[in-house]
Chain A
Amino acid sequence: MSFGVPSALLWSLLAIPVIVFYILKVRLRRAPTSTSLFWSQVFDEKPPRSIWETLKHLLSLLAQLAILGLLVVAIADPYLPGQFMAARRVVVIVDNSASMQATDVGPSRLAAAKEKAVRLVDGLRFGDEMAVVIAGEHPAVAIGMSAHAPTIKRTIEAIGSTDCPTAIQPAIDLGRRLIGTHPLGQIVVLTDGCFAGSEQLLESTDVSLEVIGTPAPNVGITQFQARRSLVDPLGYELLSAVTNASDEPLEGRLEIELDGATVDILPLKLAAGETWSRALEKTSLNGGRLTATLTQLKTPAADKGEAKPFDDPLNSDNRAFAILPPRKIQDVLLVTPGNHFLQKVFEANRLVKLSVAKELPAEIPADTVVVLHRKVPEKLPPRNVLVIDPETSTEAWTVGGPLEQPIITKQDSDSPLMAHLKLDNVAMPKATQLTFPEPPHILAGAVSGEPIYASFKRTAPLKGVVLPVSLDEGDLTFRTAFPIMVANALSWFGESSGKLQPAVATGSVVDLPLNGVKHDSTIALNLVSPGGESKPVLLSASQPQADSVDAASATVGPLEQVGFWEVAEVAKDPKASPVVVGAVAVNLSNPAETDLRAPEKVRESVMRPLTAASWLTRPLWYYLAVLVLVLATVEWFLYQRRWIR
């Protein structure tokens, strides 16, 4: 046997005063009596002392010395070498994904998992260590290897729920790294089994699966996205999908709102296991925040009976969110000698307020996009400009010779100017060579490398795009590519890409563009969750895009809750509302999380017992303390029996 605190054995010197006091005897209490007449008879008539009476005081002394000895040894923290050799390393992985919030097991699957985890802590033997890993979208170590049960339990109690999908395998890999090369390592996964690959886990020898939950029916929104229409400036499209992850048909409604105003209410009749999907087209100039909600869910009754309300066990997938970017009316000044088709392209765009002139006016209103057709002054106007078929050189380029039948071989599909644009088969018989003093950003280039469509550098914040293609020849103006090209250019000028601002899945990390925040800005920003919690966020360190000189972005995530996440300026006046500079919609949208029914094989699996708390699994001092209690009881009995017989 070894001792953790051998110096504690010095306390055994307390045996000396115990023996001294026993020998000296404690001074007796003096009790005066009016007469010893009767007491003499009482004690003179006592029978001779039995062996028990002779020995019981000595036994009392021995019991006291034994109590002292056991206490001293217990304080010295003894242990057997074998106890540490049998010590285990256990990693408990707690699945806190969205499906664990289901309430089919009260109060929730996650609460049941935490309760089981706490019981596992109770089953730890002396010398065992346990770590807790949270299996979210990104696994995290909640507490490293520890033998302190109360700390482990507190950590488990503090595990919160998320709306993220399950990622068990990365958590298992992390757990294996924590165990390392320890020969007695075990991994216990507390999960509902609603993830891909759960059946394969049953075959692992070092992983035990504890399945929590029942095959509860659920219905949820598994897809919800919104984007601006490519052809209708005011229009937008909604993609919605609802999955019935149950064995019975369900009915209900999908209610869609834009900034609180109802956009549409769609009746749902879903067969067992059916996924309903629909693409809707709506219009909205201002855009806003879209919310889709499942309501009035009920199970239709057989034989025309009354439908029963459906108690949905998981709320995270009953709502979905999307952001529809706004459109603004753009002032456009078209300076052209005359091109009907060009003019019509702008007139057809409902987001454009068009002015047409033959000559460039001296005064141009602010925030006006100037479209120059053919006639281009040497000094470009101090506005964003789109130049089509320039005839003359300017400060930004020098006009060269003609380009006959340029074949576009290079297109920058990533540029917002080229969004939804393909110029492959567009006939452009005639174009003009342009030479730029500074290399432009070629959006579409010919095989010879000449830019056919490019954005060129200007003094910030001005932007310029040039299309040195003749509109009088070729069919560019007849193609849908041209209004898209124009729309993209106008959106780019207004720093509104018009591109899809997609809703992201829970657990994602996104680079969120910030409106009106410059790249080198030093303002303080907060990331605000759907639940209202704020934490500081920094601007991304990435270099700005060539097309957006000043626009800043912030990398935020992982976004663990469904709803709208915002990046807002920290208001100097606490009473003022913070200015929101960026927002992103986050949805669960995960059919695997919506389906709360784990595979049958997984549900029926039985977890290998970790251990059961038993008397022989505690440290030695515990048993010594129990012995001390027993001896103290014996000593109390001996002490009391002196005058209770």
Chain B
Amino acid sequence: MALFPSDFLTRLEYLSIISRRVFRGSLLAQRRTMQLGSGIEFSDHREYTAGDDFRYLDWNIYARHGDLLLKRFQEEQDLHVYLLLDCSRSMAFGDGRKFDLARQLIAAIAYIALADLDRISILAFTDGVFDNFPLTRGKARILQLMKFLEGLETGGNETNVAAAIQGLLHRQSRRGLAVLVSDLFDPKGFQRGLDQLRHRRFDGHVLQLYRDEEANPGLLGDVELVDVENESVRKVTVTERSLRTYRELFTAHQTSVREYCRNYGLGCTQAEAGVPFDELILQMMRASQVQR
């Protein structure tokens, strides 16, 4: 099945319209850059000093309190959306549904952002950023973006979220919204990378994808486990008990991701790779609106 079927753009347009009219852009949070400037929207007060312009005195406060305070105004800027796509081999595990869904989600989020006149950039990473789609603006770029995504292949030796985010921070100095689309099977832990993101005051949203076989493996007996990323081999005897332990660990991992994101104000969406991308986007929109 094609990564971007013939009705893909139609569905993206639909999502974009829904995002604007129904959810009022809540998907991308429409966070304003807190730049104080000559915009028309009131932002804050400061004390009057000699030489300030009388036109910005807040006469209402003077009338009530006798204090001379000056109004300050916001200056709006477009949102930078950075999309980090995990291209490690774990994403292509099985029939590659996880990787295809990730790319479709990247394309959908990019389109919604571009439709809102925001800028987007895509960084593909495995154990480090190995490819990127530079910051761009305008809906017309969507085709090139889709072509870029189609050309991506999985590889690398491991998933390294921290390296990916470091690569983002090195490339982009301006803060924005970073959307991480990955399965978060990082041996060194996903928290390190996201901590860096937070420290640099980026807004973050984690989109974790997994497969049902990863949550509930159907193995039993004497097997040779082969890690598709680092190709390590381990001969084990899988019993019912070890399966139960595995499921508990997986569930704990999922929980830790949710808790981390909740604790640090990051958006979090976890989905099984069998969910259609547009359904997932709508789910994200609903969740964002509730948060607001």
Contact = CB atoms under 8 A, between A and B. Distances in A.
Interface stretch (B47-55, B112-120, B221-229): B221-229
Given A37-B185, A643-B237, A32 B90 contact: no
Interface stretch (B16-24, B31-39, B239-247): B239-247
Contact of A36 (B183, B222, B223, B234): B234
Contact of A643 (B90, B93, B183, B239): B239
Contacts of B223: 28-31
Interface string B193-228: 000000000000000000100100101111111111
Contact of A42 (B187, B222, B245, B253): B245
A147 B238 CA distance: 53
Given A644-B239, A645-B240, A33 B220 contact: no
Given A28-B235, A642-B222, A642-B237, A33 B249 contact: no
Report, as a range, how many residues of chain B touch the other chain.
35 or more
A295 B229 CA distance: 100
Given A31-B219, A42-B246, A36 B238 contact: no
Contact of B246 (A30, A31, A32, A38): A38
Interface in B160-214: 183, 185, 187, 211, 214
B236 A38 contact: no
Contacts of A34: 89-90, 93-94, 183, 185, 211, 214, 228-229
Given A33-B227, A643-B237, A28 B222 contact: yes
Interface string A628-645: 000000000000001111
For the complex of A and B, 10 pairs with smallest distance between CB atoms: A34-B93, A35-B185, A34-B90, A36-B227, A643-B239, A31-B223, A38-B249, A28-B224, A42-B245, A32-B226
Interface string A23-64: 000101111111111111111011000000000000000000
Q: Which of A31, A34, A46, A643 has the most CB of B within 10 A?
A: A34
B250 interface: yes
Nearest to B210: A34
B241 A30 contact: no
Contact of A45 (B89, B185, B245): B245
B276 to A, nearest CB: 21
A642 B249 contact: no
Contacts of B235: 28
A557 to B, nearest CB: 76
A33 B249 CA distance: 15
Interface string A92-104: 0000000000000
Nearest to A45: B245
B232 interface: yes
B232 A642 contact: no
Interface in A410-454: none
A28 B233 CA distance: 11
B169 to A, nearest CB: 25
Given A39-B236, A643-B240, A645-B240, A31 B222 contact: no
Contacts of B230: 36
A645 B183 CA distance: 31
Nearest to B219: A31
A642 B225 contact: no
Contact of A37 (B187, B220, B226, B228): B187
Nearest to A33: B225
Contact of B93 (A32, A42, A645): A32
A30 B233 CA distance: 9
B146 to A, nearest CB: 26
A643 B220 contact: yes
Contacts of A40: 234
Nearest to A641: B239
28 contacts: A26-B222, A28-B222, A28-B224, A29-B221, A29-B223, A30-B224, A30-B226, A31-B224, A31-B225, A32-B228, A33-B93, A33-B225, A33-B226, A34-B89, A34-B90, A34-B94, A35-B183, A35-B185, A36-B234, A37-B185, A38-B249, A40-B234, A42-B249, A43-B234, A643-B220, A643-B238, A643-B240, A645-B240
Given A32-B226, A41-B249, A642 B93 contact: no
B58 to A, nearest CB: 57
Contacts of B225: 31, 33, 36, 39
B187 A33 contact: no
